[in-house]
């Protein structure tokens, strides 16, 4: 069974899961819960996303409830059953489940897969690597635009790939962290503003906005605090600039880590993207003290690791104070 929230035992388990992710990432041979969640979403979407708009909206709400609630219930039930057999089995399973919700290693590797060929001047390989992690067209991008795409990906996914799962894990162990990943997966699959998903995916999109609201803002703060130990960071004015610029982003949450990373790096993110040939203008974030280059990708990865480390250190301090007061 999941350990008590805000406890030293759960905190230790979360630290262990973070280290396990850094060591192993997501091995291809290991079944991943998010893959199973995605298959359930795809089947329910095919079965339910039809008919009048009102029916589609109602079924979309049920989709969000069933997928997120069902994920939590299945994870909780599995841990309870294993605890009945032996507590150590439940502990080991919770550690593995928690590790699957984290993607620090995978995110850093994906960014390096863009940076390494870009540093060699292999533009074709860099464009192909970026195309695997973004939805925008990459065939014509130059070095600055390739670097921008990688930096934006690292910044935005620091929240939903690392700090938000950590946040929910500390409150409710693996079941709540997996429920968060289910909400995140719903948004990525049906939360688009398009004729197909406008009504059906609205509940999923709103739920994802809600569960990321606080983690996104806490992450911006921990990124800023991590800059104390990262040479070359432009901390002065970064907090004020991020509060001013983050609301410009079309997402209510993604703008916070992106604006903070842009200001700490002294670069400008956002601008013109193309999706299947269609232009999409995003608000500019940050002040371009420097032109974007491949070196900024490595610096963004340092902020990724600095951000989650400060996040967990702050959580550790909070839990220690909580235990002392209890």
Instruction: Give me the pLDDT at residue 323, please.
Output: 82
Q: Is residue 326 part of a domain?
A: no
Residue range 262-271, pLDDT digits in tens: 999 999 999 9
- How far apart CA 115 and CA 121 sit, in angstroms, is 10
- Report residue 301 as tokens: 């990865």
SS (H, E, C) 237-262: CHHHHHHHHHHHCCCCCCHHHHHHHH
- Report residue 188 as tokens: 């990525």
pLDDT band, residue 18 (cuts 50/70/90) = very high
How far lies 139's CA from each of 131, 151, 252, in Å? 8, 18, 29
Termini Cα distance of the chain: 22
Q: Is residue 261 part of a domain?
A: yes
Supply the range of the domain harboring residue 99.
8-321
Q: Which of 31, 38, 36 is nearest to 189 (CA)?
A: 38
Q: Is residue 192 part of a domain?
A: yes
State which H helix or E strand residue 54 sits in: helix 53-85
Q: Which of 156, 147, 148 is nearest to 117 (CA)?
A: 147
Instruction: Give me the pLDDT at residue 10, please.
Output: 94
Q: Is residue 3 part of a domain?
A: no
Q: Is residue 2 part of a domain?
A: no
Which residue's entry shows tokens 């400060």? 310
Q: Which of 175, 173, 158, 207 is nearest to 311 (CA)?
A: 158
Residue range 118-174, pLDDT digits in tens: 999 999 999 999 999 999 999 999 999 999 999 999 999 999 999 999 999 999 999
Q: Is residue 187 part of a domain?
A: yes
pLDDT band, residue 192 (cuts 50/70/90) = confident
- How far apart CA 145 and CA 138 sit, in angstroms, is 9
- Please give the tally of structural domains in the chain: 1
Q: Is residue 26 part of a domain?
A: yes
Task: Report the SS3 class of residue 283.
Answer: strand
- pTM score: 0.95
- Answer yes or no: are the C-beta atoms of 151 and 303 closer than 8 Å: no
Q: What b/e sequence results for 303-325 when a residue is b if at least 16 CB atoms lie within 10 Å of its CB, and e otherwise?
A: bbbbbbbbbbeebbeebeeeeee
Residue range 276-296, pLDDT digits in tens: 888 989 899 999 999 999 999
- Phi (first) and psi of residue 59, to 5 degrees: -65, -35
Cα four-point dihedral sign 57, 248, 243, 107? positive
Instruction: Give me the pLDDT at residue 251, please.
Output: 93
- Phi (first) and psi of residue 103, to 5 degrees: -140, 35
pLDDT band, residue 105 (cuts 50/70/90) = very high
CA-CA-CA-CA torsion for 309, 314, 315, 316, nearest 10 degrees?
A: 90
Q: Is residue 1 part of a domain?
A: no
- Answer yes or no: are the C-beta atoms of 262 and 268 closer than 8 Å: yes
Confidence check: pLDDT of 48 > 80: yes
């Amino acid at each position: 069974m999941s350990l008590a929230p805000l406890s030293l035992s759960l905190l230790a388990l979360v630290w262990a899961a973070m280290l396990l992710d850094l060591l192993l990432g997501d091995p291809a041979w290991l079944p991943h819960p998010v893959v199973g969640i995605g298959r359930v979403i795809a089947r329910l979407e095919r079965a339910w996303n039809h008919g009048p708009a009102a029916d589609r909206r109602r079924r979309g709400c049920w989709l969000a409830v069933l997928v997120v609630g069902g994920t939590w219930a299945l994870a909780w039930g599995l841990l309870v059953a294993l605890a009945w057999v032996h507590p150590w089995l439940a502990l080991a399973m919770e550690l593995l489940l928690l590790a699957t919700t984290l993607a620090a290693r995978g995110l850093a590797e994906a960014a390096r897969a863009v940076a390494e060929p870009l540093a060699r001047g292999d533009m074709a390989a860099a464009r192909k690597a970026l195309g695997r992690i973004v939805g925008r067209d990459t065939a014509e991008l130059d070095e600055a635009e390739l670097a921008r795409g990688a930096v934006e990906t690292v910044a935005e996914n620091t929240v939903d790939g690392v700090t938000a799962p950590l946040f929910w894990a500390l409150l409710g162990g693996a079941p709540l962290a997996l429920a968060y990943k289910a909400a995140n997966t719903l948004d990525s699959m049906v939360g688009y503003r398009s004729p197909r998903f406008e009504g059906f995916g609205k509940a999923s999109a709103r739920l994802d906005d809600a569960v990321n609201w606080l983690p996104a803002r806490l992450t911006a703060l921990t990124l800023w605090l991590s800059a104390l130990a990262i040479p070359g960071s432009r901390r002065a004015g970064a907090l004020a600039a991020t509060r001013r610029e983050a609301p410009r982003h079309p997402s209510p949450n993604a703008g916070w880590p992106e604006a903070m990373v842009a200001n700490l790096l002294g670069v400008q993110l956002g601008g013109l993207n193309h999706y299947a040939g269609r232009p999409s203008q995003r608000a500019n974030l940050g002040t371009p003290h420097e032109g974007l280059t491949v070196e900024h990708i490595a610096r963004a990865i340092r902020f990724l690791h600095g951000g989650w480390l400060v996040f967990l250190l702050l959580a550790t301090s909070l839990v220690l104070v909580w235990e002392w007061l209890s």
